[in-house]
Amino acid sequence: MTSTAILGECLEFTVTEAFRQARIAMQKTEPNAMPTTDVDHVFRYTHEFSDTVITAARGACVHDRDGREILDFTSGQMSAILGHAHPEIVATVHEAVARLDHLHSSFLSDVVIDFAQALSDLLPESLSRVLPLSTGGESNEAALKMAKLATGRYEIVAFDRSWHGVTGGASAATFNGARRGYGAPMPGVLALPTPHPYRSPFASNGDYDWRAELDWGFESIDRQSTGSLAAMIAEPIPSSGGIIEPPEGYLTALAEHCRARGMLLIFDEAQTGLGRTGDRFAFEHEGVVPDILTLSKTLGAGLPLSATVASAEVEQTCYENDFLFYTTHAADPLPAAVGRKVIEILIRDRLEERARELGDYLKGILRDLQQRHEPIGDVRGRGLLIGVELVEDRHRKAPAHALGAAVGRRCIELGASLNIARQSSAHVFRIAPPLTVTRAQIDTAMTILDQALTECVNR
C-alpha cells in the first residue's frame, strides 16, 4: 500500500470515528437524533425517529426492548383502528396467506370481488366501483388520474395544509410539508386556504366568516387557473395540518364551488374513514358525497390496503379512455381478505358509535385539562380523532413547538405515545387511539399527559 493510500485510510477512519463520536455527543443532547448502535443501517426517512425501539404490539399498546408497555394513542400511523394483533385479523392473515396471497394483476379473485362488494355496500349508491391498492399515496395518485381522464382537464386544487402522500401527484397536492428540495412538482396544483377556525385571519372574537374565506379562495383559484380545473382533493378533516374540523356547512359550500366549475370532488379519508370520527365516513357528517373517495390506513386497520372508489359513470369514462393503474399489488387477495374482515368487524361492533362515545369522554377530560393548563389553547376534532394545540400564550396563540416536543417525549417515558408528530408540528397533539381502546386506558393516558404537562411547564 502506498503512503498516500495509508494516509487516505487513516483520514477516512478518523473522519468516520469523529462523525461517530459527534453523533454520540449529539444523542446525549438531542434525544431524537439517530441512535448509534444497531440501527446504523436504517435510512433516515424522517427526522422524527423516536429513540424507543419497539418489539411487539397488542391491543392499544406497544412494547419496547425493555418490555415496557406504552399506550399507542396514535394507532401506529393513524391506522390500527382495531388495535394491534386483533385475534380475528391475525386468523384472517394466517388463513389468507396460506390459501391465496398474491396474483397476476389481471386475475381477479373471489375475495377481491367480495371485498369490493362489501365496501360499496357501506357507501352511498353512487360510490360503486372499487380499485383495491396498497397505500394512501397510491390511492390518491389513482384518484387524480381518474379525475383527469374523466374531465379531460388537468388542474387540481388542494387545501394549503393538506397531506395526501409522498408519491409524485399526491405530494404535488400536499402543502403541509416535504415540498422543498425535489425540483418542480406536478404542474397545475393550486392551493385553497384550509378553513381553520382557530387560526384563520377571517376569524376573530369567536366569529369566523368562513364563507368569505372560501369565496375569496376560489376567486384566487379562478385567477390562477388556465381554465382546466379537474378536481378538488380534500381531507374532510385535515389531519396532518392539525386536526382542523371545517365549520358546519363548509363542505357543502365547497362542493357547490366545485360543481359550479365542473370540477370533481375527491375526499381523502385515509385517516377519517371506517368509524374514526364517529361516522362510518367523515363525509356522512354533513352528507356531502364526493365523486371519488380514497381510503387507506384505517381500511386495512394497519396493514397495507387502500382503495379508490368512484361512480360507475367516472369508471366508465376512464375505461373508455384506457385508464391504466396496473400496480404489482392492485387487487391482491391477502390485503383484500383483511379489508373484508375489517368491514365485518366495523359493522358488527358498531365501532363508529364507540368512537363517538369514547371521543366525547376523551374530549371532556382534555377540556378539564385545558382549564388547568394554560398552554392548552384549543381542543378540537370529532370522534376519536382529536387535536390539542399548545400555545405560548392564549391571546397571541404562538405555537409552542418546543413545549409540544418535550411533553410528547415525556409522555412516552411515562408510558403513552400521544402525538403522531414527534418534532415538526409537535405543538398540535394529534390523538387517535384504536377504536377498541378502553375508558381505563384513556384515563391512564390522560393522567400521563397531565403529569407531563405539569413537569415540562415547570421545568
Ligand X SMILES: Cc1ncc(COP(=O)(O)O)c(C=O)c1O
**Smallest distance, ligand X to C-beta of residue 389, A:** 18
Query: Toward ligand X, which CB reaches closer, 376 or 385?
Result: 385
Binding track, positions 162-181, relative to ligand X; x by CB under 6 A: -xxx----------------
DSSP letter, residue 59: B
Does 279 contact ligand X by CB under 6 A? no
Grid cell 389531519 — which residue?
239
The 8-class DSSP code of residue 245 comes to P
Distance CA 102, CA 369 (A): 49
Choose the binding region for ligand X from 48-56, 159-167, 219-227, 442-450 (rule: CB under 6 A).
Answer: 159-167
Cell of 354: 364507540
- State which residue, 274 or 391, has the beta carbon closest to ligand X: 274
- CA 127 to chain CA centroid, Å, is 22
Nearer Cβ to ligand X, position 271 or 308? 271
Residue 235 interacts with ligand X (CB under 6 A)? yes
Q: Report the residue number whose CB is nearest to ligand X.
A: 136
> CA quadruple 300, 304, 308, 312: dihedral positive or negative?
negative
Name the CA radius of gyration of the chain, rounded: 23
Rounded Cα–Cα distance for residues 23 and 248 (Å): 49
Query: Are residues 134 and 339 in contact, defined by beta-carbon separation less than 8 angstroms?
Result: no
* Using rule CB under 6 A, residue 425 touches ligand X: no
Q: Output 128 or 240, the one with its CB closest to ligand X.
A: 240
Q: Are 189 and 172 in contact (CB under 8 A)?
A: yes
Cβ proximity to ligand X, 235 vs 286, nearer residue: 235
Q: Does 271 sit near ligand X (CB under 6 A)?
A: yes
d(CA 304, CA 325): 17
* Residues annotated as part of the active site: 163, 235, 268, 271, 297, 430
Residue type, 198: Y
User: Would you count residue 202 as binding ligand X (CB under 6 A)?
Assistant: no
Residues between 124 and 143 that touch ligand X (CB under 6 A):
135-137, 140
C-alpha torsion 49→50→54→60, nearest 10: -110
Angle of helix 333-348 versus helix 351-372 axis, rounded to 10: 70
Distance CA 271, CA 42 (A): 27
* Of 21-29, 224-232, 263-271, 363-371: span binding ligand X (CB under 6 A): 263-271
296 part of the interface to ligand X, by CB under 6 A: yes
- Between residues 140 and 308, which has the closer beta carbon with respect to ligand X? 140
Work out whether 268 is an interface residue with ligand X (CB under 6 A).
Answer: yes
Q: Is residue 240 a contact residue for ligand X (CB under 6 A)?
A: yes
**DSSP 8-state class, residue 368:** H
Stretch touching ligand X by CB under 6 A, among 107-115, 235-243, 254-262, 450-458: 235-243
- 270 contributes a contact to ligand X by CB under 6 A: yes
Taking the C-alpha atoms of residue 443 and residue 393, their distance in angstroms, rounded to an integer, is 27
Question: Binding of ligand X at residue 239 (CB under 6 A)?
Answer: yes
The contact set with ligand X (CB under 6 A) reads: 135-137, 140, 163-165, 235, 239-240, 268, 270-271, 296
